[in-house]
Amino acid sequence: MTDEHQTQAPTCYRHPERATYVSCQRCGRPICPECQTTAAVGVQCPECVRAGRPESARGAQGVLRSLRPGRSGMVSYVLIGLCVIAYILQMTVPGFTSAFLLNPTRVGAEPYRLLTSAFLHSPVSIIHLLFNMYALYALGPTLEGFLGRARFIALYLIGALGGSLGALVVYQLAVATNGWIIEATNGFLQPALSLGASGAVFALMGAYLTLRKAIGVDFTQLLIVLGINLVIGFVVPSIAWEAHLGGLAAGAAVGFAYARTRRIEQRPTQIALVAGIAGILVAILVAFVASFPFAYGL
């Protein structure tokens, strides 16, 4: 290629110093990899992504409509299927639930419970399963299509781990204070067995918060949905709000790592950051178990 042809190469409309031959599917403006958002067909620039959101979307229902599944979503649907299969096993196999739910007193010897509990739901009411699966159906495919399957799986599993650790924090406080924290909070910080995909679902919400500009999700509407779900966790009995917060924090951290390392040449940095987040969560677990091994089944 001659120097003349190089000088005539189109450049990104937001980053004039970057040459690119990729154009927005809607407006035709040239866009570099950092400015590209994957659409159903081709890629779009940030302005077209924002302009493409339905103006009629309002409130919590609006943001859920804007996040309806597109052509992607295989991993999301597989996760839903696994939760449904696990629920059937819970209802038909004696002892299945107790063998895989998050029991803090067994985590030291059976750490797999931190993840398996995220695929179980309350056998008392199917509403628990239906609510979480609808949330995964509404939030998962769009995010999966944007991130890709591998990154989405990493986000979901790290979110599930973060949610389980959120529940363990309350147990750790109770053990460390010899139960004083339970009395001081009038039972609010009462450790309990826990299960459900809520931690992982809240991780998806946390990722949406940090990736909202790239995906094109309205921040105000997303906050409404997130706020409603957080409040429900505090006011409705028997809901593990601590798992919600743990999953939300883990998902926001992973989403932030993804948002800051979107270019291809940043892939090693992205992998290192995500692995580091997972490593921190594992280190917290190890610290908890090492501090009071008898309380965690060792």
| pLDDT reading at 226 higher than 70 | no
128 and 197: one domain?
Answer: yes
Work out the pLDDT band at 218, boundaries 50, 70, 90.
Answer: low
Does the pLDDT at position 56 exceed 60? Answer: no
Lowest mean pLDDT among 61-70, 242-251, 277-286: 61-70
The answer on 233 and 114 residing in a single domain is yes
| Least confident stretch, 26-40, 71-85, 184-198, 232-246 | 232-246
Examine residue 147 and state whether it is found in any structural domain, yes or no: yes
Residues 127 and 264 in one domain: yes
CATH at 160: 1.20.1540.10
As a whole number, mean pLDDT of residues 5-24 equals 75
Residue 3 and residue 143 share a domain: no
Q: Are residues 238 and 163 in the same domain?
A: yes
Q: Are residues 222 and 81 in the same domain?
A: yes
pLDDT score of 294 more than 90:
yes
In this predicted structure, what is the pLDDT of residue 231?
Answer: 64
Query: What does each C-alpha distance from 43 to 38, 265, 270 come to in angstroms?
Result: 5, 19, 22
More confident residue, 138 or 165: 165
Q: Would you say how long the chain is, in residues? A: 298
Average pLDDT value for residue range 24-41: 77
Tokens standing for residue 154: 């990493």
Cβ pair 276, 230 in contact under 8 A:
no
- In terms of domains, do 36 and 114 share one? no
Residue 298 placed within a domain: no
Domain count, the chain: 2
How far is 14 from 12, CA to CA, in rounded Å?
5
Of the pLDDT bands very low, low, confident and very high (cuts 50, 70, 90), residue 233 is low
273: in domain: yes
pLDDT at residue number 10: 82
The verdict on 96 and 234 lying in the same domain is: yes
283 domain residue, yes or no: yes
- Whether 46 shows a pLDDT value over 90: the answer reads no
SS3 annotation, the chain:
CCHHHHHCCCECCCCCCCECCCECCCCCCECCHHHCEECCCCEECHHHHHHCCCCCCCHHHHHHHHCCCCCCCHHHHHHHHHHHHHHHHHHHCCCHHHHHCECHHHCCCCCCHHHHHHHCCCCCCCHHHHHHHHHHHHHHHHHHHHHCHHHHHHHHHHHHHHHHHHHHHHHHHHHHCCCHHHHHCCCCCCCCCECCCHHHHHHHHHHHHHHHHHHCCCHHHHHHHHHHHHHHHHHCCCCCHHHHHHHHHHHHHHHHHHHHCCCHHHHHHHHHHHHHHHHHHHHHHHHHHHHCHHHHCC
Alpha-carbon Rg for the chain in angstroms: 22
Higher-confidence position of 75 and 48: 75
Residue 271 tokens, joined: 């992998």
Find all residues with CB under 8 Å of 95, minimum gap 6, and list them.
Answer: none
pLDDT of residue 165: 96
* Amino acid (one-letter) located at 290: A
pTM of the model: 0.75
Per-residue pLDDT tens digits for 250-288: 999 999 999 999 888 889 999 999 999 999 999 999 999
Amino acid in position 208: Y
Lowest-confidence region among 53-62, 121-130, 159-168: 53-62
Q: Give the per-residue pLDDT at 1.
A: 45
| Co-location of 110 and 225 in the same domain | yes
Looking at residues 131-149, what average pLDDT do you find? 89
What is the span of the domain harbouring residue 78?
Answer: 56-293
The identity of residue 282, as a single letter, is V
Q: Are 151 and 248 part of one and the same domain? A: yes
The C-alpha atoms of residue 88 and residue 129 are separated, in whole angstroms, by 11
Is residue 237 in some structural domain?
A: yes
Q: Is residue 40 domain-shared with residue 151, that is, in the same domain?
A: no
